Structure 1
Amino acid sequence: MNRRERLEKLRSLMEREGIDYFVIPTSDPHMSEYVLDRYKSRVYMTGFTGSAGFVVVTQNEALLWADGRYHVQAEKQIEGSDFKLMKWGLEGVDFYDEWLKKNVKPGETVGFNGEITPYSMYQKLVKKLGDKTNFKFEKDLIGEFWEDRPPLPSGKAFILDEEYTGENPTKRLGIIREKMEEKGATHLFLATLDDIAYTLNIRGRDDLYTPIVVSYLLIDSHNVTLFVDENKIDVSVKGYLQKNGVKIAPYESVNDELVALDKNDACYISGDKINALQYKLISENTKVIDEMLPTTMMKAIKNDTEVENERLAHIIDGAAVSRYLCWIKANAGKIELNEFEAEEKLHEIRAEHESFISESFKTISAYKSNAAMAHYSASNENNSEIKAEGLYLVDSGGQYYEGTTDITRTVTLGNPTAEEIRDYTLTLKGHINLFLTKFLNGTCGCHLDVMARSAMWKEGIDFKHGTGHGVGYCLGVHEGPMSISKAIINVPLQPGMVISNEPGIYREGKHGIRIENLVTVTEYKTTQFGQFFGFMNLTLCPYERELIDVSLLSDEELEYINEYHKKVFENTQSHMKTEEEKAWLKKATAEIKR
């Protein structure tokens, strides 16, 4: 069945159901960052494989919205289909919800698959379109004709025990139940896979980059039920869960349990962490308490065991990236090498360590002008040859039993220009300035964002992405609720939070520079004016000394670089495996003088 035939099938079913506009989001029942293959409806209908986008289908139009990262890719991938690309982000192009507002007439019906649509997205549409619009979302229309639809993943679950997490599920469930009691909730429902993994100390192999187990979790004052494919759960995992009061039920039985909730019950859920269909099933039968889930902050604030293990993970990972940078600087221009082959080499080096599970996201291996695209992705089919000149940016991370890493380094492969050196130094100044900042308890990331930008702003330069995102513990590389960005997110930074520090400068057609460390928030001092916090570096890998203009650095900044490099050398030198690597690390971390 080709794309035209799929559209015809969908339109026929829309007519049967009385749906005038059908919306296809990029999501799955668990609101996963990386959508499970079984639920990639947008990809199935359009052929567009980018990580974000929306589709609206009517009887006469088929529209695909993609942002600026994907305009070229989307245009190419929908070529020959009946889909029209809406270049979201360009002047005069309405976003899909605004387009619906202008086109949907009173009394018309908007449809979507409620199983994969976040409830929060549905609520925004209701607010945008008003109460004269009808909504239908109980059926999976595309599923009715999806041939050879991928099954749910079948990876085995494993236990990440207290040696790594510092707490057992019984303790975490106890804290959750205390929060439930405070809110007057009889039940709490988790659909997001990282929250479930965190709560139960389970991890799995159901996603390429995040070690999760596809499941749901329902908690009440006496029972905990994990809805999961039992084939994923071996005897040892089942025994561990039972010991912590968790019983197993079939994955597909979850909605029956939600429907069975009593009118006297009160279910604690979060509208942005549940799909529209399940929210409806719960709210039709019982009272809903819709607030941030307790697990959101619990997993964001790492305990002492987790922070210590994260430190170990970053020694392992920093050493791997250092070995890789040694290799690429030695081989660029001497062997045939493209961005994708370089990316595979980095995987090979990381995978040598016994604690390595997987990458934490698709590596960005970007040479010269490709690095100016902040989310560039090389592939076996689409890549550039790497030569002994220009800048090379690598943004990558790993999942280890000891934690999750995310690091970006930009290096010169030969003959750096004055502009490249200046841009790198300005980026490094912002990176250092943010790290050295001390801040009062109650400070949010949005208050600190300017610290990473001020040196650039003096030169009339800025970057369009956020400065920092939260990172999970052997879980999602992007974790909320905190961030460091221009966006007003009122979540104070607290000790134990792990967050990235990643300013950058991007010049289209020339180069892209980004420097990223993960840091953890730490206590600094308490005075008569209050409690103050600071940051501790987790990432341990040299900066690119050949791109640093010392004349642009303050004494404090230069001192920081030398102290950081000393720490990198002391912690990672024993992980270098050849004399060449040892010599490279020693040179890369040697004292920089004026």
Structure 2
Amino acid sequence: MHDTDINAGQAAIDRALPAGPSSVHADRMDHLRGELARRALDGFIIPLTDEHMSEYVGDYAQRLAYMTGFTGSAGTAVVLRDKAAIFVDGRYTLQVEDQVDHTLFERCHMEAYPLDSWIIDNASAKARIGYDPTLCTPDWVQKVGKTLRDASLRFETVDDNPVDTIWHDRPAPSLAPAIAHDDDFAGISAAAKRDDIASLLKNKKADCAVLTMLDSVAWAFNIRGRDVPHTPVTHAFGLLNADGTAILFIDERKIDTDLRTHLGNSVRIEPRERFYETLTQLGGAGKRVLVDPAVANAKVVSTLENSGAVIVEDRDPCSLPKARKNATEQTGTRNAHIRDGAALTEFLAWLDTAIEDGAAVEGRLDELGLVDRLWDFRQKRNHVADSSFDTISGSGPNGAVIHYRVTEETNRKLQMGDLYLLDSGAQYLDGTTDVTRTIPVGQPTQAMQTHFTLVLKGHIQLALTRFPMGTSGQALDGIARRPLWQAGLDYDHGTGHGVGSFLGVHEGPQRIAKFGTDIPLEEGMILSNEPGYYKTGAYGIRIENLILVQRSEKEEERPMLFFETLTLVPIDRRLIRIDLLSDAETDWVNQYHDRVRTLITPHVEDSARAWLEHATAPLPART
């Protein structure tokens, strides 16, 4: 069921954040600079995250959006006394131009002109630059701090965030109830998970482990929540002990009798605000505490260090077990993808019929309306809880904005000759989905077909790849890009991100990207396969399926892995140039469509079955 309560707060922020030049943001900048002057600070850094270092955050933590108007999922701003800048990656270079007033903020690509370099170039001599230690990792603090200090600048923590001081109508943190995630969906009980982690802690000679990432807390305790839009997590910290017991730091108003029973006697519940106090007590007791400095915020680490705790630096102990989906989770995600594929198929059949009936010519189809219509088809399915992210519904030039988010102001009507890019997903109790399809509105041009087919070739080549155990996603990224590279093209985003099981649609540590991670892909990991092409001002193309890493049963010299494709949605044949596909690639499309048709047909309404039959027909032979 769509969670209108979660979205209401963000919608309110969005209404208060008009795109482009804004006197609202100019006033906020004036107030922030006044607050910085009161604190004798010359600048302040504003990242887009929360104290859990989350990618997607609750309304109360949307400080970057409040100050700048930028609503993407990754970015950082810095405000000096007389200048300011915002830093985004390649996914958001177009969006930041549309949303952020250039007279207030210089708009920078974070790799081409990094934040610390910009500060050095623009801050006055010996300037005092402030940062919130709950919103950054210790590694980031060390790196940026050294760079700024080498340039004779001062880098200083703040006890309370100055943005919060001036944000008088700041939303309160969510009080949505935390709920138990049934073992029938989780596959492994929370007690068994914590016992496994307890064994790991003993091997590491650690007394306990601190959990700060929301999805790790959700996984370790088998709980879910509604505190973050589209991501079923609850705001909490966790402490796992080497004897299998644990502490859950959470607002007790979010806990009911059923959840207390689910958590059991081995879990102690403490108020969330007691978290840092408890860390101090660990130090006083001389405890050895496992912490992941790559994901914990800097205040967690400094609190432990200052209290005398012995820090055992290691990866979040939930990270890899969470990424390796167990047999129950694998079965669940397959079932979720069948239901999701049926919903997408009914939507695409409806859309094609509407276009054929003249809806695009008459201006009756628009991006926002299509988001709602797709949700109508999805919400009829069993176990559906929410969408897994804000649907990217981009027609024509809006499709070229990689992480486009349609609003009332940007909403565009579909026009004949457009390409329509639809990137969407859903949260089911048994799995998380994420799928992108590109649809022609009327007759596509040859250039559109060529670009689409190059993207498709890369998608297929990655889907067909077999690789030895121990291979990281970074080593595979170029496989999906090669057809585009051969044509002098590329895309400014990763090829694949990890995906959770009724958890985050973006999950680490697995990733397929140019500058990814050296973590090897392992059996049971779920990732996306999503190469794309974006022609600024014209159209965007992306083809995304989710894939599951499986181990080959063949007897070979080395143990090998391969990808099982999970997503079951037709790929638009009208955009495929048959002459550009190899025989193996043609076979892949035909076999994929045969599997889609077989698995999805029993689950769609009669009105969509004829469309599905046609959409999955074999590709015509090359002439």
Spell out, residue by residue over 1:84-103, the C-alpha distance to the aligned partner (whole angstroms, 9 max, x if none).
32221299x73321122345
Q: 1: distance between equivalents of 2:155 and 2:447?
A: 56
- On the 8 A contact 1:68/1:87 being kept in 2, the answer is no
* SS of equivalent residue, structure 1 residue 110: strand
1:500, distance to aligned residue in structure 2 (A): 0.7
Q: 1: distance between equivalents of 2:486 and 2:90?
A: 27
Change (3 A) 1:520 1:265: same
Partner of 1:28: 50
Change (3 A) 1:181 1:516: same
Among 369, 373, 376, which residue is 1:348 paired with? 376
Q: 1: distance between equivalents of 2:48 and 2:274?
A: 24
Residues 213-228 of structure 1 aligned to structure 2 (within 5 Å): 213-222=234-243, 223-228=245-250
Matched, 1:84 2:84: no
Q: Which 4+ runs in 1 deviate beyond 6 A?
A: none
Q: 2: distance between equivalents of 1:76 and 1:298?
A: 40
- On the 8 A contact 2:283/2:304 being kept in 1, the answer is no
Partner of 1:593: 620
Q: RMSD in angstroms over aligned alpha carbons?
A: 2.3
1:44, distance to aligned residue in structure 2 (A): 2.8
Count of residue pairs brought into register by the alignment: 589
1:515, distance to aligned residue in structure 2 (A): 0.7
- On the 8 A contact 1:66/1:85 being kept in 2, the answer is no
1:508, distance to aligned residue in structure 2 (A): 2.0
* SS of equivalent residue, structure 1 residue 248: strand
- On the 8 A contact 1:187/1:218 being kept in 2, the answer is yes
Range with greater deviation from structure 2 (313-322 or 124-133): 124-133
- On the 8 A contact 2:206/2:242 being kept in 1, the answer is no
Residues 172-183 of structure 1 aligned to structure 2 (within 5 Å): 172-183=193-204
* SS of equivalent residue, structure 1 residue 542: coil
Change (3 A) 1:454 1:71: closer
Q: 2: distance between equivalents of 1:46 and 1:381?
A: 17
- On the 8 A contact 1:205/1:212 being kept in 2, the answer is yes
Partner of 2:492: 464
Spell out, residue by residue over 1:241-285, the C-alpha distance to the aligned partner (whole angstroms, 9 max, x if none).
025x21211111111111111352111111232222222111111
Q: 2: distance between equivalents of 1:18 and 1:575?
A: 64
- On the 8 A contact 2:90/2:492 being kept in 1, the answer is no
- On the 8 A contact 1:396/1:408 being kept in 2, the answer is yes
- On the 8 A contact 2:26/2:104 being kept in 1, the answer is no
Q: 1: distance between equivalents of 2:229 and 2:452?
A: 32
Q: 1: distance between equivalents of 2:372 and 2:84?
A: 38
1:575, distance to aligned residue in structure 2 (A): 1.5
Change (3 A) 1:456 1:192: same
- On the 8 A contact 1:431/1:502 being kept in 2, the answer is yes
Please tell me the residue identity of whatever aligns with 1:541: V
Please tell me the residue identity of whatever aligns with 2:481: R
- On the 8 A contact 1:424/1:513 being kept in 2, the answer is yes
1:22, distance to aligned residue in structure 2 (A): 1.7
Residues 338-487 of structure 1 aligned to structure 2 (within 5 Å): 338-487=366-515
Residues 135-146 of structure 1 aligned to structure 2 (within 5 Å): 135-146=156-167
1:229, distance to aligned residue in structure 2 (A): 1.3
- On the 8 A contact 2:87/2:109 being kept in 1, the answer is no
Change (3 A) 1:557 1:494: same
Partner of 2:572: 544
Change (3 A) 1:337 1:158: same
Change (3 A) 1:370 1:11: closer
* SS of equivalent residue, structure 2 residue 482: helix
Please tell me the residue identity of whatever aligns with 2:542: R
Among 110, 130, 153, which residue is 2:174 paired with? 153
* SS of equivalent residue, structure 1 residue 88: strand
Among 575, 581, 586, which residue is 2:608 paired with? 581
Range with greater deviation from structure 2 (51-60 or 226-235): 51-60
1:76, distance to aligned residue in structure 2 (A): 6.0
Spell out, residue by residue over 1:450-492, the C-alpha distance to the aligned partner (whole angstroms, 9 max, x if none).
2212222232222222111111111111111121121152111
Please tell me the residue identity of whatever aligns with 1:196: V
* SS of equivalent residue, structure 2 residue 264: helix
Matched, 1:520 2:548: yes
* SS of equivalent residue, structure 2 residue 275: helix
Partner of 1:54: 76
1:196, distance to aligned residue in structure 2 (A): 0.4
Change (3 A) 1:521 1:63: closer
Q: 2: distance between equivalents of 1:454 and 1:77?
A: 33
Q: 2: distance between equivalents of 1:71 and 1:142?
A: 24
Spell out, residue by residue over 1:329-380, the C-alpha distance to the aligned partner (whole angstroms, 9 max, x if none).
1112326111111111111111111311111111111112221221122122
Q: 2: distance between equivalents of 1:435 and 1:272?
A: 30
Among 287, 293, 309, which residue is 1:271 paired with? 293
* SS of equivalent residue, structure 1 residue 590: coil
Range with greater deviation from structure 2 (436-445 or 397-406): 436-445
Partner of 1:241: 263
Partner of 1:100: 119
* SS of equivalent residue, structure 1 residue 490: coil
Q: 2: distance between equivalents of 1:470 and 1:572?
A: 25
* SS of equivalent residue, structure 1 residue 278: helix
Change (3 A) 1:134 1:448: closer
- On the 8 A contact 2:231/2:503 being kept in 1, the answer is yes
Please tell me the residue identity of whatever aligns with 1:492: P
* SS of equivalent residue, structure 2 residue 52: coil
Among 212, 215, 219, which residue is 2:233 paired with? 212
1:568, distance to aligned residue in structure 2 (A): 0.7
Partner of 1:199: 220
Spell out, residue by residue over 1:196-221, the C-alpha distance to the aligned partner (whole angstroms, 9 max, x if none).
00111111111221000111111223
- On the 8 A contact 1:66/1:86 being kept in 2, the answer is no
Matched, 1:121 2:140: yes
Identity rate, percent? 37
Structure 1: gaps of 5 or more residues: none
Please tell me the residue identity of whatever aligns with 2:543: I
Among 272, 284, 292, which residue is 2:315 paired with? 292
1:388, distance to aligned residue in structure 2 (A): 4.0
Q: 1: distance between equivalents of 2:488 and 2:82?
A: 46
Please tell me the residue identity of whatever aligns with 1:185: A
Among 14, 31, 41, which residue is 1:19 paired with? 41
Q: 2: distance between equivalents of 1:278 and 1:284?
A: 10
Q: 1: distance between equivalents of 2:281 and 2:292?
A: 19
Q: 2: distance between equivalents of 1:528 and 1:50?
A: 45
Among 199, 206, 210, which residue is 1:185 paired with? 206
Change (3 A) 1:289 1:593: same
Please tell me the residue identity of whatever aligns with 2:179: F
* SS of equivalent residue, structure 1 residue 491: coil
Q: 2: distance between equivalents of 1:65 and 1:593?
A: 47
Please tell me the residue identity of whatever aligns with 2:246: V
Partner of 2:349: 326
- On the 8 A contact 1:525/1:533 being kept in 2, the answer is no
Change (3 A) 1:141 1:516: same
Please tell me the residue identity of whatever aligns with 1:217: G
Please tell me the residue identity of whatever aligns with 2:533: I
Partner of 2:20: none
Partner of 1:556: 584
Matched, 1:283 2:305: yes
Q: 1: distance between equivalents of 2:574 and 2:490?
A: 23
TM-score of the aligned structures, taking structure 2 as reference length? 0.89
Matched, 1:530 2:553: no
- On the 8 A contact 2:337/2:567 being kept in 1, the answer is yes
